[in-house]
Amino acid sequence: MSISNLLFIFSSSFMALFPVINPLGNSFIVNGFLTGLNDQQRKSAIRKIVTNYLLIGIGTLVIGHLFLLLFGLAIPVIQLGGGILICKTAMALLSDAGTTSNDEPKQTLDNPKWKEIERKLFYPITFPMSIGPGSISVIFTLMASASIKGSFIKTGINYSVIALAIICMASMLYIFLSQGRKMMEKLGTAGNLIINKLVAFFTFCIGIQIIVTGISTIFHVDIL
């Protein structure tokens, strides 16, 4: 297996995953959840989000097909269910008062705000907000194209290259989330409220898009 083939797999995986995962856009969405946390809390939350992100991405790569076979699920059904969950989350964000305090949060991980965010770190912040059903379907597609019949070693190497692309996406998300507080501080309380509401609306639209994609695939119709 040549280096050029591995580079092609990595570049194609990166280009296929980037617009779906969208680490820059998702960092704005996730930052909306982290508003009001202090530096210690943000660092802890970001580490857990990125860890969950890698577990879902790499886990899909390793045992994703097994879960689909075990539960008898199809990718369009996952897209439909994930889209509904995203819409539900977006509606909760839109109905939230969205007020933020100007007071410096206490330097502790035991305040009610942190406990509330901590319960949401896996669902819905990591899944389906940061890495959702659309990303999982792309990973399955990349796996199918990278599989080499009769050669487990070459297939494993190709899967490792795809995993490297997923790790790059997680690294980008970590960088954007780490710098998110500086942007939020410059916007101020009113700016944060506006951004959060806009992000919630676009998140709702993303959920609708995923639902429509799932329905289109299930019923074999071209809706859009």
The per-residue pLDDT for 104 is 46
Alpha-carbon distance of 134 to 150, in angstroms, equals 29
Q: Is the pLDDT of residue 65 over 70?
A: yes
- Give the tens place of pLDDT for each residue, 81-116: 877 877 887 787 778 644 444 444 444 555 677 888
Mean pLDDT of 47-76: 88
The answer to whether 175 and 31 are in contact (CB under 8 A) is no
Q: Is the pLDDT of residue 58 over 50?
A: yes
pTM for this model (two decimals)? 0.73
- Give the tens place of pLDDT for each residue, 140-198: 878 877 878 788 898 899 999 999 999 999 999 999 898 877 776 676 667 767 777 77
